[in-house]
Chains A and B, each alone.
Chain A
Amino acid sequence: AQSVTQLGSHVSVSEGALVLLRCNYSSSVPPYLFWYVQYPNQGLQLLLKYTSAATLVKGINGFEAEFKKSETSFHLTKPSAHMSDAAEYFCAVSRSSNTGKLIFGQGTTLQVKP
């Protein structure tokens, strides 16, 4: 069975500091991996996705993530946090290209302090 674990339900950084949100997955087959962002009272917006092409994936708003098979990780990073990055972030996995069946992590709320 697939599962996703996001380490840390809340992460706080200062504006301009590095953002690191952790995601570990388990999957018996090569996974498809996603990071979504949710702003207050909004739906989910795709930040980036890994679909077995390049292991370093660049997304929107300066975010990127690296797929590390040996560590079963897909951590999300951004070199310099901006106040507008404050939101909830979700890591998700699917078994195949059937993205109708996503397994989500618990979510990480990112707080950005001025």
Chain B
Amino acid sequence: NAGVTQTPKFQVLKTGQSMTLQCAQDMNHEYMSWYRQDPGMGLRLIHYSVGAGITDQGEVPNGYNVSRSTTEDFPLRLLSAAPSQTSVYFCASSYPGRMNTEAFFGQGTRLTVV
């Protein structure tokens, strides 16, 4: 089972460039989320989606855009990369439900902005 797949695994960008981080899940999960991980700060929520066509902001949304046209895919777009966006990005998916609730994470994308 593929689970949550993120591409690319590594990326170097120049300041001002734009790019899209891809995330796909094959578990038919309704919820999908993007987090960034920085040393000493844990993971912080960037954007999330509760279903196709529905997205909302998390704790640190500035500089990022998302859309959710299908259940499977939830891409994260960096509009104009800045060095402060150097981080490891994780995509997660989950299915709402009291007993089975759990978020599944991808392997991460390590982004460096120079």
Query: Which residues of A are in contact with B by a Cβ distance under 8 Å?
Result: 4, 6, 9, 32, 34, 36, 41-46, 49, 51, 53, 90, 92, 94, 97-107
Known A51-B99, A97-B101, A104-B35; 4 more pairs at CB < 8 Å:
A43-B90, A43-B105, A49-B101, A51-B101
For the residues of B in contact with A, the DSSP-based class is strand
Q: Which residues of B contact A92 (CB under 8 A)?
A: 43
Q: Which residues of A contact B103 (CB under 8 A)?
A: 34, 46, 99-100, 102
Complex Cα spacing A32 to B106, Å: 21
Beta-carbon nearest neighbor of B9 in chain A: A41
**Shortest Cβ-Cβ A-B pairs, 7 listed:** A100-B31, A104-B42, A43-B105, A99-B94, A44-B105, A104-B43, A100-B48
> Is B102 part of the contact surface with A, judged by Cβ < 8 Å?
yes
Q: Which residues of A contact B75 (CB under 8 A)?
A: none
Inter-subunit contact B101/A105 (CB<8 Å): no
Interchain CB contact (< 8 A) of A51 among B35, B45, B90, B98: B98
Q: Which residues of A contact B106 (CB under 8 A)?
A: 43
Inter-subunit contact A98/B31 (CB<8 Å): yes
Inter-subunit contact A98/B50 (CB<8 Å): yes
> Is B83 part of the contact surface with A, judged by Cβ < 8 Å?
no
Q: Which residues of B contact A36 (CB under 8 A)?
A: 105
A44, A51, A53 interface centre (most CB from chain B within 10 Å): A44
Complex Cα spacing A107 to B40, Å: 7
